[in-house]
Amino acid sequence: MAVNENNELDPLHVCYLAGTGGGKTTAVKLIDGLMGEQVAIFDLYGDYKHDARKNSPFNGLGGRPVYHYQTRAKFAQAFADAWRSGQRFVVAYSPQFSESLNQEQLKQAKQKELHWFGRLMWAAADGNRRLDVIIEELAKLSSTAGKDDSIIGELATGGRKFGLVLHTIFQRSQEVPKTIWNNSPRKVLGAQESKHDAKLIAVELDADLRDVIQISLMNSKYYKQRLYYLVKSRGGIGNIEPNYINVDKKSESFGRCYQITFDALRRG
């Protein structure tokens, strides 16, 4: 059970939204100021694999080593050891599933593992310490886009006062359970796949539609050079700044994140 309730802690949950290829995981790894020092990841698809032979900001979590575990017992032990150590760490749970499961059975099995992971995070949460929790592609494992009354919804609504910072990743705003969206004051928006999606997210984010469309156009224009985002740094109306990440492997600033002005964004 979460301990040391502290209602003075700032709300820091983050939602990341972008279409396919829009740079969701890149944003999680590389946008400055969003991630803490002690991190646990529910990583079904191996998006945070770390290869010690490679020196890249995209390796692991922004270049940080990530240790993956495929069973509950091994992950729980590794997480507990890391959490008790008080040191900087990133651990990931990547459960494996039988190929004999049909689509519905597979979804249920994944949900079961996600909820086990969520309960473990809730049990570890401590208002005297920060714990960042990343859940990739949550929409594929959610049963509703309305109120989320699962343990993940509990992390979103109650985690703040126990030091937990939830990072959830989605492709479309329509997929995000309102429990998650409404309790995530920080939001990162990447390229959208249609004007319809752009209009919806512009309203949800309280952003200028032309800026939502512009980041998608800029990502096409600077393909394999830059990824553009709108970043809402805190709750309330406004508080949105454009950012881009340098993804040009030949550049000296490869992997660096830059905040720019709206004038610069709109000039293209």
For residue 51, give its domain range. 14-196
- Whether residue 1 lies inside any domain: the answer is no
Query: How many Å apart are CA 122 and CA 139, to the nearest integer?
Result: 20
- Whether residue 189 lies inside any domain: the answer is yes
- Whether residue 120 lies inside any domain: the answer is yes
- Whether residue 204 lies inside any domain: the answer is no
**Residue 145: band (very low, low, confident or very high) from pLDDT cuts 50, 70, 90:** low
Percentage of residues of the chain with pLDDT beyond 90: 78
Query: How many Å apart are CA 14 and CA 165, to the nearest integer?
Result: 8
Q: Which two tokens stand for residue 32?
A: 């400055």
User: What's the predicted TM-score (pTM) here?
Assistant: 0.95
- Whether residue 160 lies inside any domain: the answer is yes
Number of domains in the chain: 1
Query: How many Å apart are CA 188 and CA 244, to the nearest integer?
Result: 11
- Whether residue 47 lies inside any domain: the answer is yes
Q: What is the pLDDT of residue 194?
A: 87
Which of 16-25, 70-79, 105-114 is the least confident region?
A: 16-25
Q: What is the pLDDT of residue 71?
A: 98
What tens digit of pLDDT does each residue of 176-214 get?
A: 788 899 999 999 999 998 888 899 889 888 899 999 999
Is residue 147's pLDDT more than 80?
no
- Whether residue 178 lies inside any domain: the answer is yes
Is residue 139's pLDDT more than 80?
no
Q: What is the CATH number of the domain that holds 26?
A: 3.40.50.300
Q: Three-class SS string for 232-263?
A: ECCCCCCCEEEEEEECCCCCCCCCCEEECCHH
Per the DSSP assignment, residues forming a β-bridge with 232 are 187, 240
Is residue 126's pLDDT more than 70?
yes
Q: What is the pLDDT of residue 177?
A: 83
Q: What is the pLDDT of residue 98?
A: 92
- Whether residue 201 lies inside any domain: the answer is no
Q: How many helices (H) and strands (E) does the chain have?
A: 8, 10
Is residue 36's pLDDT more than 60?
yes
